[in-house]
Each structure stands twice: as structure tokens, then as C-alpha cells.
Chain A
Amino acid sequence: MYTTKVLQRRYIGLLLPVLLIIIWEIASYIINNPFFLPRFDAVLAVLADPFRDRLGSGSLISNAIRSIQRVGLGFICAAVIAIPLGIMMGWSDRLYRFFDSTIQLLRPIPPLAWLPLALAWFKIGLTSVVFIISIGAFFPILLNTIDGIKNVRKTWLEVASTLGASERQLLLKVIIPGAAPLIWTGLRIGFGIAWMVLVAAEILPGTTSGLGYLIMYAYNFGQIELIVAGMMVIGIIGIAFDFLFQSVEKKKFAWRRLER
């Protein structure tokens, strides 16, 4: 009795995906048109051979590496600007007011809307892709950093100053560690958005590699199984990074959950 309950709880989340795959396999068998719905095992076959060159555009792996490099670069650029700016804005009301209006104006513009301008400025190539990824990652990192700094408990600051902390020490030993969990959350959300923006950017004109490019290119050749396999790789990489961010969060910032 007890064990079946545990099993039910543990595996209930797997039920629907398995069901969907079965329905997919049956549907593809009935439809019998690989240009509309490829068979599941055809997609698996593509996934099982990730090093094979596809359509002269490189393998799943090499394109995935390309995409990860781009997203990494754009993400790091965003973090390098957004974290210090967020710390300053969270710390000083005057700086907050100075920057906030501009940020509110720019924030609603979808990152991809910057692509034409990026192409005009930086031409086709790495710079323009990295630029729009940075824009995608920038705002969640910034806003969470500001939030994190503003929510540092006042008592911590007062304790530190009665113990003799200088302004610099307050910043380095209290404010930043106190805000770190939320900054980290910002990085996690920022990375997720960067990844989505990247794939979309690769589909649009301006790139000749990457997973987004590969699936769009596969469309031109009617290789639906490659499209679906590419989508799965995109999803798996997204989950993997999110998992990475979360496990660091659980390990390093457990105090935020457990406090009180």
C-alpha cells in the first residue's frame, strides 16, 4: 500500500509524456507522412547520432556548442553590466531615480525588436547576436539585483556598523552576500530568457550556425525529424542549465529558504 503510493507520487509526472509519445507514434503511423509528423523513432535516430553532419551545416553537437558559446557571451556581458548597476541603484536612491525612467522605457521593447538595429550597427555576425542576447538577459538580472539590495535587512546593516564596518565593508560583507540569493535568481531567469532569445535570433536572418539556424535550415529541406530533434536538444540544454543554477541555489543559498 505504502510503496504503491510512493511510486505513484514519484512517477506520476512521467505518465503524460509517455502517453504523448504513444499517441504521437500511433498518429504518425496513421498519418503516414514524414513531412507532416515524423515517427518518434526517426527523431530518436537523429538524436542517437549527434555527431553526424546534417545538411552540410554541422552536427547537432557542434551547433549546440555554437549556441551555448553565444548565449554564454551575451549572458556574461549582461551580468557584468547589470549586477554593478543594480547594486548601485539598489544602494542609492538618487541613482535609482536617475536610471529608472530610462530602464522603464527600454524594458518593454522585446529583445528581438533590437535585431534590425543590431544588424545595422554591428553587421551580420557574432556581435549583433551577442548584443540582443545581452538585452534579453539584462533586465531580469538588473531588476532582481536591485530588489535583492533593497531587501537586505536593515538590522544586518546596523549590526555591522555598530561592529565597526566601513561603507566598503558594508557593501562587500553584508549587502552583496545578503542580496546574493536574489541576484542569483536574476541570473537564472536571465539565462533562461537569453536562451530563448538566442534560438529565436538564430532563426532570423543574420546567422549561419547554431541550433536555431539548424532547425530553420532543416525546414527548407523538409527534414521534420531534424526539426523535432533540434527542438528537443534546445529544450534539454535549457533544462540542464536551469538545473545547474538551481542546484547552486540550493547549496549556497539554502539560508534564504531556511531562515525563520
Chain B
Amino acid sequence: MRLEIRNLSKIFVSEKGEQIEALSNINLTIDEQEFICIVGPSGCGKTTFLRIIGGLDVATSGTIQLNGQVITGPTPQMAMIFQEYSLFPWRTVIDNVAFGLELRGLPKEERYQIAKKYLDLVGLTGFAENFSYELSGGMRQRVAVARALAIEPKVILMDEPFGALDAQTRNRMQNELLQIWEKAKKTIIFVTHSVDEAVFLGDRVIALTKRPAKIKEIVPVIHCRPRDRTCSEFVSIRKHVLELIAEESSGT
């Protein structure tokens, strides 16, 4: 599995009719089971970048290939997890997790069996029959992760999935996500505005420039896992990435 992004550019036309260049000539190759984090100054086009990879937005030019196959629209090979709560509130937790399997026409028993497996994986075994409004923010995002995993995608795209959570829950979710990632062996592309989160999670941190977004620097985080936020290597990488973003934000 290899995700290749070649010469990707995106130009929006604003409501006033102005052309706004959001992404400019991005090239990136992502390997199987790699955990990629994307950071950049606010409004730089991180989310647009992720949405184009996921086929939810269309690039103005350039291509995305998954194992040599060009991506032209949403595909179940890549599942997306959004910042805002995206669960279907009229469905129970298990019916949310089984949604993708239901779309494929799997019989109920079979899809529940698979859904239960992923609910166990995200630690929500006892919540199959609950509704999303009965769950906390962190639990809802875990259901969203289980729902994405259930269709067995090759890549999981995450758009600031923990942005709405409080700091404690967020840290716990980061650890859990790493555990899930190690068990499920997926490629993850994770957009965040938190440098700390990016350095804690990613194999590589992609720092983008301000708009139009280009790749400013790819920072490998060789620091072994599980990571220790207080060790000097972590601190120095974090400092470096923060500086990259600060340079962009100040406009120099």
C-alpha cells in the first residue's frame, strides 16, 4: 500500500469571484501503516488537503494514487473521521458502527459480529445499544473510529478528531488511538493544529506553509514509542515544529 500525492494544487473561487489558491504543488508519498500528522498555521488549507485525499473535494490539478489507482471520489478504502460529531443520532452505537457493512448488504448477524469486534477494540463493549447523545465526546469519537475501522479501509483520514475534547480526554484518546493503530495496522493521516499532538502521534510531521499551502518541511519523529513528552528529544522536535509554524504565522 502506497499513497502517492503528486503536484496537488487547489484553487477556490470565492463568492466574490476571486480566485484563492489554497494548495500549491504538494508532493508526498506515504507508506503502508505510516502515521502522518499534518500541521500548519490556521486557515492554511490542512483540512482541504485531507478532504481532497479522501475524495470529498476535487483538486484543481495533480493526482492522488492509492496503490497506483487514481482517487476521483470517496472510496471505502479510505475512511474519514471528522472533528464534529458525525454519528447518526437516530441509530444505536452498534448500528452506527455497522453502517458501512449495512451499505454493502451484509446480513445483520454478520455485521453485528464485526461491529462488536471493533467496539471491543475501542473499549466500548457495553455501549452497543446506546444512542450517541448518551455518550461523552470522547466516547462518540471512539464510535466514529470503530465505524471507520469496521469497513476495513487501508487509510484512515482524521480531521482534528480530538479538537473538541478537553485536554485530559484528548491525551487519553491519543494513547488509545496509538494502541488501536498498532493493533489495526492502518495508515493514518491526521490533521491537527496541536504541534504537541502531532509530534506525540506521528511517524512524520508534515509542516505546511501559510496559504497557498506548500510543504515547508517534513519532520521525521524517530523517537521510539511509546513516547515520552518530557524527554529532551521530544521537546526539541516539538520546539522545531513550533518554530516552523511561528515563522509562517508571523508572515516572515
13 pairs from A and B in contact (CB 8 Å cutoff): A159-B82, A161-B73, A162-B56, A162-B78, A163-B79, A163-B99, A164-B75, A173-B99, A177-B88, A178-B88, A255-B132, A256-B89, A260-B133
Instruction: Tell whether A243 is near chain B: CB-to-CB under 8 Å.
Output: no
Chain A contacts with B in 12-58, Cβ cutoff 8 A: none
Minimum distance in angstroms from B57 CB to a CB of chain A: 10
Minimum distance in angstroms from A140 CB to a CB of chain B: 22
Chain A contacts with B in 136-190, Cβ cutoff 8 A: 153, 155-156, 158-166, 169, 173-174, 177-178, 180
B104–A259 contact, CB under 8 A?
Answer: no
Instruction: Tell whether B147 is near chain A: CB-to-CB under 8 Å.
Output: yes
Name the A residues within 8 Å of B55 (CB-CB). Answer: 162
Instruction: Tell whether A120 is near chain B: CB-to-CB under 8 Å.
Output: no
Minimum distance in angstroms from A20 CB to a CB of chain B: 41
Residue A156 contacts which of B54, B80, B88 (CB distance < 8 angstroms)?
Answer: B88
Which of A173, A255, A258 has the largest count of B CB atoms less than 10 A from its CB? A255
A173–B103 contact, CB under 8 A?
Answer: yes
A158–B104 contact, CB under 8 A?
Answer: no
- 14 more A-B residue pairs beyond the given contacts A158-B82, A159-B86, A164-B75, with a C-beta to C-beta distance below 8 A: A155-B86, A159-B80, A159-B82, A161-B56, A161-B74, A163-B100, A163-B103, A163-B151, A164-B100, A173-B99, A255-B89, A255-B131, A258-B131, A259-B132
Rounded to whole angstroms, the CA-CA distance of A155 and B151 in the bound complex is: 18
Minimum distance in angstroms from B85 CB to a CB of chain A: 7
A158–B80 contact, CB under 8 A?
Answer: yes
Rounded to whole angstroms, the CA-CA distance of A90 and B252 in the bound complex is: 47
Rounded to whole angstroms, the CA-CA distance of A121 and B88 in the bound complex is: 47
A255–B133 contact, CB under 8 A?
Answer: yes
Rounded to whole angstroms, the CA-CA distance of A118 and B102 in the bound complex is: 48
Q: How many residues of A contact B (CB 8 A)?
A: 24
Name the B residues within 8 Å of A165 (CB-CB). Answer: 103
Chain B contacts with A in 60-89, Cβ cutoff 8 A: 73-76, 78-80, 82, 84-86, 88-89
Name the A residues within 8 Å of B151 (CB-CB). Answer: 163-164
Rounded to whole angstroms, the CA-CA distance of A237 and B99 in the bound complex is: 41
Report the number of A-B residue pairs with Cβ-Cβ less than 8 Å. Answer: 71
Using CB atoms, name the residue of chain A closest to B88.
Answer: A156
Q: How many residues of B contact A (CB 8 A)?
A: 28
Name the B residues within 8 Å of A164 (CB-CB). Answer: 74-76, 100, 103-104, 151
Residue A259 contacts which of B74, B133, B148 (CB distance < 8 angstroms)?
Answer: B133
Name the B residues within 8 Å of A255 (CB-CB). Answer: 89-90, 131-133
Rounded to whole angstroms, the CA-CA distance of A166 and B56 in the bound complex is: 14
Minimum distance in angstroms from B183 CB to a CB of chain A: 21
Rounded to whole angstroms, the CA-CA distance of A173 and B95 in the bound complex is: 11
Rounded to whole angstroms, the CA-CA distance of A94 and B80 in the bound complex is: 30
Name the B residues within 8 Å of A155 (CB-CB). Answer: 82, 84, 86
Name the A residues within 8 Å of B84 (CB-CB). Answer: 155
Using CB atoms, name the residue of chain A closest to B144.
Answer: A159
Residue B76 contacts which of A153, A158, A163 (CB distance < 8 angstroms)?
Answer: A163
Name the B residues within 8 Å of A174 (CB-CB). Answer: 88
Chain B contacts with A in 132-169, Cβ cutoff 8 A: 132-133, 147-148, 151
B85–A260 contact, CB under 8 A?
Answer: yes
Name the B residues within 8 Å of A161 (CB-CB). Answer: 56, 73-74
Rounded to whole angstroms, the CA-CA distance of A201 and B38 in the bound complex is: 66
Name the A residues within 8 Å of B131 (CB-CB). Answer: 255, 258
Name the A residues within 8 Å of B88 (CB-CB). Answer: 156, 174, 177-178
Rounded to whole angstroms, the CA-CA distance of A259 and B82 in the bound complex is: 17
Minimum distance in angstroms from B90 CB to a CB of chain A: 5
Residue A163 contacts which of B73, B89, B147 (CB distance < 8 angstroms)?
Answer: B147
Rounded to whole angstroms, the CA-CA distance of A161 and B72 in the bound complex is: 13
- Are A162 and B90 CB-contacts (below 8 A) given A155-B82, A255-B131, A259-B133? no
Minimum distance in angstroms from B178 CB to a CB of chain A: 23
Which of A159, A169, A253, A256 has the largest count of B CB atoms less than 10 A from its CB? A159
Name the A residues within 8 Å of B73 (CB-CB). Answer: 161
